[in-house]
Structure formats: structure tokens, C-alpha cells
Structure 1
Amino acid sequence: MRILAPFLLVVALALLAWASTAFLHLNLLFGVIIPYAAFALFVVGFAIRVMRWGASAVPFRITTTCGQQKSLPWVRQAKLDNPSSYAGVVGRMLLEVLFFRSLFRNSKAEKRGEKLGYGSAKWLWLGALAFHWSMLIIVVRHFRLFLDPVPEFIGVIEGADSVLQIGIPLLYITDVVIVGALTFLFLRRVVLPRIRFVSLSIDYFPLFLLLGIALTGIVLRYGVRVDVTGVKEVAMGLVSFSPVAPEGIEPLLFVHLFLVCALIVYFPWSKLMHAPGVFFSPTRNLANNSRMVRHVNPWNYDVKVHTYAEYEQDFGEKMRKVGLPLDSE
């Protein structure tokens, strides 16, 4: 049920959008009202999560390190693994955000006979990198629908994405890669017993939702005739706050759009918020300069102390009776 329930939920969302537009003709609802509501909920939810993180106190440096800290001049420092300057922090953050460096260095532990062994876990890193970069490129490509005139760099990205020149319309490499990456991430959770044991429905739901978005988008591009001019007119109307009632558009487009709306509503309250969350992580965004700068805990408050002299004054007679030495004597 942990796998079947989220799958059926995504199927139900897709069928709801298809039936509502194909038979009930609720194009205005699914083409204008729901996208605006979803975007508003996304902005509010995103802002709430970010403000909560920003208001969280960080009383001391809790940087994670994988190398030598800055110390004596003749000891070589690991400037990216253990940065002591903010330039080093920026470098470490860029490697983390763009190339998932910590995931690349991750290793798997498994029992080998009577001993615990460690091995490479590079397939997870490769699958995650393929998915995230493909997702970024696909999102950038979709800007073509919301911008007029279309910036030149989007054309360059589209040309590079379809460089293999396969089929008509041209096959985008990222369309294949993102489906393959999502399938790998799903199978990893199902096939590996340890990962399957700790996986919950909330881990499978975004995978099925993203697969649904990717597959409906692929069908719209390669399998169904879509009025691209009408789609762009609807998209431009949304971003210019002059929405037009979409008519004569393939119902599958509303399924695709509705699944995207479901994703952005779900995003701020899910594990997907790790995307902006990495920038608020004190284990990543703080320099390890504790040897050079004294960091005072902002939560510290004055504590009433009881000195030893005061202790002797209070209990000196009793200490003398049992033969304990007194500093005052």
C-alpha cells in the first residue's frame, strides 16, 4: 500500500483533470483558476518555510568537515572540505548545489561475512544528478511559452538538447534522461530491501507525480497534435494577469498542467524543499573559523554561581567535623 496508494492518487488526479475538461468542459477552472491558486499556495508555503528556517537560531558553528581545519602555517588546509573563509564556503556550496559533492562522496555500508565493509554508491549520485539537471533544462525550455520575445539562450539550450537530431519533432535528450532517472530512483526504493524498508508513501508520491508530468509532456510533444499557438496564448495570459479561457485545446494538456499544479502545491510542505533548504543549512553555509573567532552563544544568560569560598562559608563547620581540609584555614 505504501507504493500503490500514491500511484493511485496520481492516476486519480490525472483522470479528474481529463474527465473534467473532456466531458464537463471546465477549461477555465483547470486552465486559469487552479494554476493561479496553486501558484499562490506555493508562494505562501515557500515563504513560511523559509521564514521559519531564517528565524531559527544557530548558537554555534556546526559545520560538517571532511578535511584538515586551518591551523598551523605548515599544515595544509582543505579549503573546500573545511573552509575557514566565506570564499571557501561559496566554493563548497557551489559544488554541493551544482554537482552534489557530498552525495558523490557517499558510501554504502554492508556486511561482508563477519565484517562491515564500505563500497561505492556512485549510481545514486549519477541518477540524482541526471534527474536534477534534466529537470532544470526542461523548466528553462518551458520559458519559451511564457516569454515574448523568446531569449536567445533558450534557443541555444534547445539546440543543445536536441543535438542528436532524432525524429520529427526532434527528440530532446532530457526527455529520455529524466524518465530513466526517475525510473532508476523508483526501482532503487523497490529493489533494495533496506531502502524499501524505510521508504514511505511520501517518498513514492513525488516520484509518481514527476513521472506523470514527464510522461504526459512527452506524449503531448511526440504523440498528440497540440495547438502550440493556443497553448502559448494561454501561458502568456497567465503570466500577464490577462487570462483567456482556453478553448479547443487537447484535454491531455490540462492533465499535464494539473499535475504540475499539484506538484507546486505539494512542494513547500514536502521533502522536495531540500532544494532551497541547502542554503539555510548551518552545516553548509558556515565557515569553520572557531580557532580564529570567538563565537558567543546568543542563548546564553547570566547564571548565578556558587564559588568554593562561599561553599566553605556555608558548609565549613560540617566539613571540619568530618576532617576535610579547608582553604580558609
Structure 2
Amino acid sequence: MQNFKNTLENKNILVTGGAGFIGSNLSEELLKLGAKVTCLDNFSTGRRENLVAIINHPNYTLIEGDIRDIETCHRACESKDFVLHEAALGSVPRSINDPITSNDVNVGGFLNMLVSSRDAGVKRFVYAASSSTYGDSETLPKVEDKIGRPLSPYAITKFVNELYADVFKKTYDFDTIGLRYFNVFGRKQNPGGAYAAVIPKFVMQFMNYESPVINGGGEYSRDFTYIDNVILMNILAITTENTEALNQVYNTAFGERTTLNDLVQYLKEYLSEYDPKIADVEVIYGDYRKGDVPHSLASIDKAKSLLSYNPEFSMKNGLKEAVKWYWENLK
């Protein structure tokens, strides 16, 4: 990670969803860089165990609250220099099963945070956007200004976030940056629950000698993105002095795609170094899943050009780190 200590020392930063996978990793790095970090989380998907390393840090404050409550949002934004908005209800299947709650959190909660940040005089609002915004666009690689029609309620909510951010600049001169995350994975990502992401879920199944189920034929591909690349993008977004970089959305990825079939082979290979029996676990193929985009690959040229983004971890190097973490912490 580049050295941002001089830039972030003693800055007051709010991380919403700060007990989640991305938010907690982000908070840890910001504290290392000397920032004062406040976490806002309602623990609907965030986990207290993610905060063990930082909960007693002198520069860390936890606010247990919901972004759907405007007063809580106002309180959390007071005296903050920057807001990193990670709070959301993720998962395409979750949004298909319950579109109302996904909309309430991802759209209503987002608007609450925008208004509260604006009213508090926050310098910059950086938010988690999503690669799902590309929808049915078949163009590869995905370029920020070419999107298709959304394929799920979740995708709609994340696109609406971008529209609101754009309007807040035009209407209130309020600066934002959106980061379209591409299949983020890494340490502390929850392997349990009905909506677990594919990598931690498969890792745990392999470690338990259970056959993972691939939706479809396994040739769908994703631009799997290691958590440290995402942390770097967030920090670049709040520290950039390039005014041209503001009020934009950026792909946040490595820029390389991997099929699900290749993914399970890598997982088998890396996990077998810890337990050779994992190499013999078979994979099962199921039905295609509604709302899934067949292929995802990001162009990261815009982020390189305007934010000087240079991702440090390839998918395979990140996967080795993630497997090591899961083996040491969850086996």
C-alpha cells in the first residue's frame, strides 16, 4: 500500500457499513494511516468479530445505527472530513427475493447519507457503486460510460445511487466519487448465510470436503478483485487533488477475468497445499441463476489516468492470500 499517512493523519472519516467485509478492512487501513475513524453499522450483515482488531483503538468510534434513519445519519456525519459509504444490502438473489428492503436501504439510505453529508459540510463523499450497473451490456471490457439495462432490483438501486450523486453535484455543488466494485473478495468476507459470495462459500465447502455447486456450466467469468485493490481505490478517491477526477464513477477491479471453472481449480490447488484431500472433492453443476451477468471484465484505464490507480494484487495472488487467511482463521 502506498504511503498516505501525511495526507490522512488526524482526518475525521466516517465509514458506513464499517463492520462489513469491505468497511472493516478499510477502517483498519485508515487507522494505520493516522485517521480518526467512525463506523456506522446496524449489524444486519456486518459482524462484530470484524471489529475485534480495532474496537479499542483510541481513534475509533462505533455508532450502532441504521442509514434508513435520517437523524442517525446526521449525527454520524457531524465534523467529518470525508464519508466512505459502504453500507448496502448486497446480493442479486436477495434483491430478487425482497426488492423493497433492498430499495429502502440502498436508495433511501443512500439519499439520507448524501443529504446528511451535504448538510455537515463533508468535503467528499465516496460510495460503493457496483459492476451490476452494466446490466445486459455485452461489451467487454466494461467501460464506465457504456452501460446496459439492469438485470436485477439490486442493479437498479446501485444505478440510482449514481444518478443521485450526479444530481447532488449539479444541484448543490457537492463532490462525490463512485467506485464500481467488481466481485471483491478477501480476508473477513463471510462464508456463511444464504447470500454468501462465491469465493468464501467455495473455500469453506472445500475445507469441509463438500462439493461446491456452480450455477450453469462454469464458463461465466468475473473480474475477481482482491480487497487491497479496493482499499487503495477508496484512499485514492479521498486523497486525490485532481479536480477532474471528482464527480466520476470508476471501475474498481484488476482488469482480468476468470471463469468459475478456473476459479475452483485455483481454489483446489491452493487449498491442497494445506490439505491434499481437497484435490479429490468433486464439483457439482446446477441451473443458471436469475439476474446473473454472463461475463464481467473491467477496463481500469480511467482509474489509472485520473486517480493514478495501480492495483497491487492480481486475482491469483489475492486468492492465495485469501485462502491462507481462511485456513488460519476458520479451519
Higher strand share: 2
Same fold per TM (> 0.5)? no
Superposition TM-score, scaled by structure 2 size: 0.27
Superposition TM-score, scaled by structure 1 size: 0.27
Higher relative contact order (CA 8 A, sep 6+): 1
